[in-house]
Chains A and B, each alone.
Chain A
Amino acid sequence: MWKIPSETNFIVFDQERIRQSFIMSENSLIRLEQVTKEYALGETMVHALRGLDLRLDAGEFVVLLGPSGCGKTTTLNLIGGLDQPTRGHVIVGGEDIAQYKADQLTDYRRRKIGFVFQFFNLIPTLSAAENVEFALALNDDARDLRQRAFALLERVGLRERANHFPAQLSGGEQQRVAIARALANDPAVLLCDEPTGNLDADTGHHVLRVMRELNRAQGTTVILVTHNAAIAPMADRVVRLHDGMIQNIETNRAPQAVEQLVW
């Protein structure tokens, strides 16, 4: 059962305030300036984002919320360098990654971003530890890969399952391996696309708890895309999107503990 969370803890911005706050926050970790994304779907032109402006600060836990087709995943993909805007700027750490070439984007993703996907996207022929090693090996430091992989799995509570292959792991375990992999190169930003979308509620809670701990303990910026409004109360900020535009941004002064989330 979906439960709409209490609104009492949120400050709601209107569009003009959003714009103002964006302009004023030149030092944000991530800034999206007038970002438009259009693509052809068959013979139809889809306007996924329509001049989006957004800024996200380092260490924030942000939830991008909205119905299907509102542009939340597109926003995540643009921040992650998986896609490029039709127009506008995506500035991360002071650099406009919209101007990056493919190789620069690859390097950017490797050094700064960690991804967590809805379907985990583990390499099925590699064990849990090897999946993490695979990401670790992308780094210039190739020492003690196995030990470091075990340590990361330890952090997500899967040390004892390190030698299991994806097909031998539950959905929640796979997602935790995916998180461990995403953390391999100590990313500045963790991008999570519907990380609980393919998990039952208990497992979903477990995964969110891991993310929250990482955010709080490491200061990793987490951007989580979901259409499950029940997750929103755990975020520092909630960005609601609708039809390729920001509908509102809510700042949560006292984010709820994961245990309190109910869906």
Chain B
Amino acid sequence: MLHLLLLKNLRDLRASLAQTIALIIIVALGVASYVALIGAYRDLATSYNHTYEQLAFADVTFALDSAPSDVVNQIAKIPGVAAVTGRLIVDTGLDLPPELGGVKNAQIRARLIGIPEDAHPRVNDVLVESGRYFQPRDGKVALLETHFASIYNLAPGATVTPIINGRKQPLQVIGTIASPEYLVVSASRQDVIPSARSFAVIFVPEAELDRLMGGNAGINNIAVRFASDANPDNVIQQIDRELNAYEINSTTLQADQASNAALHLDLEGYREIGFMMPALILFVAAVSLYVMLGRLIRAQQAQIGLMKALGYADRAIVVHYLGLALLIGIVGTLLGVALGIPLGSEITTEYATELGIPLVATQVYPDLMVEGAILSIVLALLGGLVPALQASRLPPVVAMRPSPQMFVKGGRTWIERVVRLPLWLRVALRNVLRVRSRSLSTGLGILFAFVLVLGAWSFMDSMQFMLQDTFQNVERWDVMAVYSTPHSWSTLHRIESMDGVKRVEPILLLPATIKGGGASEDIAVTAIDPAQTLHRLELENGITPAQALGDNKIVLTAALANKYHLRVGDPVTMVTQAKPGSHEKITRTLTLGGIADEMMSAVGYISLDEGSKWANITGFAMNGAYVQVNTSQASAIRSALYDDTKASSVQLKSAVQADWVSLMGLFYAFIGMLVVFALAMTFALLFNTMTVNVLEQQRELATMRAIGTNRRKILLMMMGESVIVWLLALIPGLVLGTLAARELGGAFQTDLFALNIVIAPTSYVVAALGILLTMLLAALPAIRRVNKLNLAEATKTLT
């Protein structure tokens, strides 16, 4: 008996092949996305961890002024310390010759890191990707961090020229390496975007670097790995005590390390989407199964009656129809797994390549396959359960009645009592209400499509809005020069007198730490003239920069103000250097003068006068300048800034913007994939619903055509049904989509980066029309079916 029922199941599925395939594809998409996305998330996390383990990424890093290298030996003895490395790190400039895209005398920021030449570092090791590692007596050689090397196409044999101790020192490149500290190349946590184009990380033999720095430079960076059983807090306290004699500038835990924090931020955002998408797709699969099985059972009502008359038990009938769902679930799962494994591997590889993760570990996760299979099969069974139970409960005499269509209840809708609708629209409207559960499930599918499309789309809008606002409204300079030491008016005048310069505004960049409520974090404070125009301060509550940047006042970003629960007028505690370059710290209490809504969270603004106080300079001081120029002369001015004013770094806004756009490429591709998935899902769901609608109304539609209704009118009625469901789902879909976008956006708010979720009005329109268009396209096969109906046969068919 079971064999025959299974055979019947298979033939039933074959009889509705297109719908079966659509259902299998939906289930397969759900399982594939589950296996691929969560698998890729795990692979990426594993790849990071694998890289970190293999390259002994530091658990904690101490930045010092300077300490003798033998302090490392004392730290190594502390219980709980598994390994320690002391390094000399020098932040400086690097000549960027014209052949590498630079201009005359152009420089970018460079970080020189001294590592042993006779052995790999015990902590924060490097992975040689090309060339070789150092050998004793290598002399003036360098290993380049791979992102930088790749951007400028630098290979072993090339020469780089960093400024060391005030002098240009050509170093021969002997290899390129990957470093666990620079998987995302950020000079600090304040650098939100990877900056390998303007920031070079160069590893140099430690003895050579010490020599070039004049000898006896000691070390200024200590990286520590904990033993597996160590209590990190205790170990850090003991190391603090050991380093008490030296000035500790910062203690950075692995979680706060710039590259690692950026990777985690990225990974968390990915995880949110990785879980949401398969859940939605599998839900739609269940809804589709419910719709299709419901239809099949209605069509097989007479057969059910016959089975009952022959003596099949209710349970056998339930099992039989659940078997259909199960078959679809199983085939979909197998296909999904087969698709998901290579897809996951591909996503991991693409992502890892994009980010430059050196040691990629992809693997097959049997637990994910089992979970995916269970999820999809359970959802498939749930989708099939209600129709199967309904089938089993049909009394044989009812089941064998000739035309279930005769028992369709008609009725007027309340809208018709208010408005007199044309007949075709009345037909469409009443058809929507005819099988309410189906319309409801279709509506829900559309609702979820809105959630997915708007949720995904809002990220693009938000990013674009943010970038546009930042680079067009807020940052109005074209070139920004930064100096390693404070400069006077004369530099400002020199810049003003350059050909092509329209306007110059001085700035003073000052590192500081904000404290409050037990928390603290490093922020970048920029002192500006309250009357300046090249960096627009958009302050809340109509406060003007002149009011906000008064004596002893500071402006913070909305993200910082929220985090430290600060309102305008509240005191703000800041720890600053006693003067530039000094290690002596001063705690200042300022008043929050205003709150600015800016993309970068960890920044603050004070007046130039206040800045001079902080820098302990009497009179005017600047260590940077915003410059507005004739765009065509930007490169020449950049060159002049390096050449004539000895700027340590000169940024073109266009280059910064281009970096952002290139960073967004992968992000947009991912969002695009989400939108395509959402629309594919909507298409599959609607395709099934519309096909079922046509099958159930086949005789009516054939009759309409038989009595002379033209195709256009039938098209209008069928499209009308889709449009009505769309209209019903529209408002809740837009509302839910907006809420989902906000919820998802929250996952991307960080200490450094404030993403205000914005959905452009056009996006609502595009999402709504995109979904409508998908629905209408999904109806086309059904409409084609109506046009091809054999009228003679269909007018007699009992559906």
- A: residues with CB less than 8 A from B are 73-74, 77, 80, 82-83, 103, 106-111, 113-115, 117-119, 121, 123-127, 130, 133-135, 137-138, 145, 165-168, 181-182, 185, 193
Contact = CB atoms under 8 A, between A and B. Distances in A.
Given A73-B792, A82-B795, A125-B427, A135 B410 contact: no
Task: In the A-B complex, list the 4 residue pairs whose CB atoms are closest, starting with the nearest.
Answer: A110-B708, A165-B410, A125-B430, A124-B408
Contacts of B700: 121, 123-124
A238 B157 CA distance: 105
B406 A167 contact: yes
Given A115-B703, A125-B427, A135-B707, 16 more contacts: A77-B791, A83-B790, A109-B706, A115-B706, A115-B795, A117-B796, A119-B402, A119-B796, A121-B699, A124-B434, A124-B700, A125-B410, A126-B426, A134-B423, A137-B423, A193-B795
A82 B792 contact: yes
Interface string B469-486: 000000000000000000
Contacts of A126: 410, 423, 426-427, 430
A109 B426 contact: no
Contacts of A80: 706
A109 B796 contact: no
A216 B708 CA distance: 25
A130 B422 CA distance: 11
Contacts of B410: 124-127, 165-168
B792 A77 contact: yes
B423 A111 contact: no
Interface size class of B (residues with CB under 8 A): 20 to 34
B706 A193 contact: no
Contacts of A124: 405-406, 408-410, 434, 700
Nearest to A114: B707
A82 B423 contact: no
A132 to B, nearest CB: 11
A137 B407 CA distance: 26
Contact of A107 (B423, B706, B708, B795): B708
Contacts of A121: 699-700, 702-703, 706, 795
A150 to B, nearest CB: 15
**Chain B interface, DSSP helix/strand/loop, else mixed:** helix
7 contacts: A74-B792, A115-B703, A119-B699, A123-B427, A124-B700, A167-B407, A167-B410
Contacts of B402: 119
B718 to A, nearest CB: 14
B366 interface: no
Contacts of A127: 410, 412
Interface in B419-444: 423, 426-427, 430-431, 434
Contacts of B426: 126, 130
Contacts of A135: 707-708
Contacts of A103: 710-711
B631 interface: no
Contacts of B711: 103, 106
Contacts of B407: 167
B705 interface: yes
B796 A165 contact: no
B725 to A, nearest CB: 15
Contacts of A185: 708
Contacts of A181: 707
Contact of A118 (B408, B790, B796): B796
A138 B402 CA distance: 30
B213 interface: no
A125 B426 CA distance: 9
Contacts of A74: 792
Identify the interface centre among A83, A121, A165, A193: most chain B CB within 10 Å of its CB: A121
Given A106-B705, A126-B430, A130-B426, A119 B710 contact: no
A9 to B, nearest CB: 32
A133 B423 contact: yes
Interface string B392-411: 00000000001101111111
A263 to B, nearest CB: 20
A73 B702 CA distance: 16
A44 to B, nearest CB: 16
Identify the interface centre among B403, B430, B699, B706: most chain A CB within 10 Å of its CB: B706
Nearest to B409: A167
B708 A123 contact: no
Identify the interface centre among B407, B426, B711: most chain A CB within 10 Å of its CB: B426
B704 interface: yes
A165 B423 contact: no
B798 interface: yes
Contacts of A168: 410
Nearest to B433: A125
Nearest to A84: B792
B707 A123 contact: no
Contact of A125 (B406, B431, B706, B796): B431
Interface in B706-722: 706-711
A117 to B, nearest CB: 6
A166 B406 contact: yes
A111 to B, nearest CB: 7
Contacts of A108: 708
Contacts of B706: 80, 82, 109, 115, 121
A74 B430 CA distance: 33
Identify the interface centre among A74, A77, A125: most chain B CB within 10 Å of its CB: A125
A95 B126 CA distance: 90
Nearest to B787: A102
Given A109-B707, A109-B708, A121-B703, A130 B423 contact: yes
Contacts of B791: 77, 82-83
Contacts of B406: 119, 124, 166-167
A215 to B, nearest CB: 19
A106 B795 contact: no
Contacts of A167: 406-410
A73 B796 CA distance: 10
A110 B434 CA distance: 27
A124 to B, nearest CB: 4
A115 B710 contact: no
A108 B707 CA distance: 9
A107 B710 CA distance: 8
Nearest to B707: A135
A145 B403 CA distance: 30
A112 to B, nearest CB: 9
A117 B792 CA distance: 11
Nearest to A145: B423
A123 B705 contact: no
B428 to A, nearest CB: 10
Nearest to B424: A137
Nearest to A163: B412
Contacts of A73: 792, 796
Contacts of A193: 795-796
A125 to B, nearest CB: 4
Nearest to A138: B708
B432 to A, nearest CB: 10
Contacts of A115: 703, 706-707, 795
Contacts of B423: 126, 130, 133-134, 137, 145
Contacts of A166: 406, 408, 410
Given A109-B708, A125-B434, A167-B409, A119 B403 contact: yes
B736 to A, nearest CB: 30
Contacts of B796: 73, 117-119, 193
Contacts of B405: 124
Contacts of B412: 127
A108 B795 CA distance: 17
Contacts of B430: 125-126
Nearest to A110: B708
Contact of A110 (B403, B707, B792): B707
A119 B403 CA distance: 9
A111 B708 CA distance: 8
